[in-house]
Amino acid sequence: MSTSRLRALGVAVVAALSAIAIAACGGSSDKKSSGGGGGGKSGTIAFLMPDQASTRYELQDHPLFEKKLKTLCKGCKVLYQNADADASKQQQQANSVITQGAKVIVLDPVDAAAMSSTVQQAKSRKIKVLSYDRPFPKVQTDFYVSFDNEKIGKLISSSLVDKLKQDGSAKKGGILIVNGSPTDAAAGLIKKGIHEGVDNSGIKVLAEYDTPDWEPAKAQDWVSGQISRFHDEIIGVVAANDGTGGGAISAFKSAGQNPPPVTGNDAETAAAQRIVAGTQYNTINKPIKIVASAAAVAANDLLQGKTPKKTSQVFNTPSALYVPFVVTQQNLKKQLIDSGLQKKSQVCTKTYAADCKKLGIQ
């Protein structure tokens, strides 16, 4: 296949991804994305993820990224590491892949500030750095690929606000806000979006918490304390992801209470089951295949010396952002099952079969 046809194929891939999830508005880069690269350079690309508390990194991001990259660069080698929420461990992993000759590092930082010097070190060695999922506020990477995190925060909080107003419970108490990790810039963007949805809603915020390392157990402990403090005043919980949402739900169950509406984000299987059962109100459908594939295309572009196609600018870094969708009981079948993002057999296990049937998932 000719180089021009490969480039055309790459552009088609990016266009298809954008059609599935509408990209945020932004300018275009001066140089076209190659998108292909099968006939270009081969090299080592590192894929460094932050933790295993969010199951998506092991089950989706890594395998989907590697699968897509292999279609673009058959001779490329992927070095995968997960930092287990340990910033020091991630620094060691980054230094290791640099020593092993990585030409491009795709990096989802545990702590962006802690990793800034490592990014600068890589760039000084002419290694390209692509920030993934979580941005770097104070250091410019070569490119950034993610869903629009600020939009995610606004979507989940606005959805909850609408629910509480429709139920007539908006004036009966207040809500808790359970944010993500204070060292995660993406969590900061989600937090900003949450407040965009909540601050002018007229609903009172009883208390707010930044969850260290996104740990569900820490979210659960904090929410347990707030239940003891506010009792039945809590009418809802805005949780920044499915892990912290699950922790909040566990806190109410441990206190012998039915959980109020609780939000989430990531569309994990456990969250889909909680939504089916009615214990979690919403989550965010972020088809990881979209961003993992887009990151593979961009990483290959960087390897080939090309400029990836941008749709936005985040913290002065050229970026490709994608807009996700809110999932509730009303559209879970369409968004997660019919779309193929979740398997009915995984969501509708014996425990949830009756609830699935009520929602028309059979």
Q: Looking at the structure, tell me whether residues 46 and 66 fall in a common domain.
A: yes
Q: Looking at the structure, tell me whether residues 301 and 213 fall in a common domain.
A: no
- More reliable by pLDDT, 33 or 146: 146
pLDDT, tens digit, 9 for 90 and up, residues 296-311: 999 999 999 999 999 9
pLDDT, tens digit, 9 for 90 and up, residues 92-150: 999 999 999 999 999 999 999 999 999 999 999 999 999 999 999 999 999 999 999 99
Q: Looking at the structure, tell me whether residues 87 and 106 fall in a common domain.
A: yes
Separation of alpha carbons 77 and 45, rounded Å: 6
Confidence of residue 169 (pLDDT cuts 50, 70, 90): very high
Which pair of tokens denotes residue 131? 């920030």
Q: What pLDDT is attached to residue 38? A: 53
Q: What pLDDT is attached to residue 15? A: 40
Averaged pLDDT, 271-286 = 96
Neighbouring residues of 5: CB distance < 8 A, sequence distance ≥ 6: none
When the pLDDT of each residue in the chain is averaged and rounded to a whole number, the result is 90
Question: What residue type is assigned to position 146 of the chain?
Answer: S
Q: Looking at the structure, tell me whether residues 268 and 296 fall in a common domain.
A: no
Q: Looking at the structure, tell me whether residues 313 and 331 fall in a common domain.
A: no
Separation of alpha carbons 7 and 307, rounded Å: 13
Domain of 40? 3-147+287-322
pLDDT, tens digit, 9 for 90 and up, residues 178-229: 999 999 999 999 999 999 999 999 999 999 999 999 999 999 999 999 999 9
Q: Looking at the structure, tell me whether residues 55 and 124 fall in a common domain.
A: yes
CATH of residue 263: 3.40.50.2300
Q: Looking at the structure, tell me whether residues 86 and 46 fall in a common domain.
A: yes
Q: Looking at the structure, tell me whether residues 350 and 213 fall in a common domain.
A: yes
Q: Looking at the structure, tell me whether residues 155 and 109 fall in a common domain.
A: no
Q: Looking at the structure, tell me whether residues 156 and 82 fall in a common domain.
A: no
3-state secondary structure of 172: coil
Burial per residue of 178-196, b for 16 or more beta-carbon CB atoms within 10 angstroms, e otherwise: bbbbebbbbbbbbbebbbb
Q: Looking at the structure, tell me whether residues 164 and 238 fall in a common domain.
A: yes
Q: Over 60: is that where the pLDDT of 22 sits?
A: no
Q: Looking at the structure, tell me whether residues 127 and 92 fall in a common domain.
A: yes
Neighbouring residues of 211: CB distance < 8 A, sequence distance ≥ 6: 178, 179, 180, 181, 218, 219, 222, 240, 244
Domains identified in the chain, total number: 2
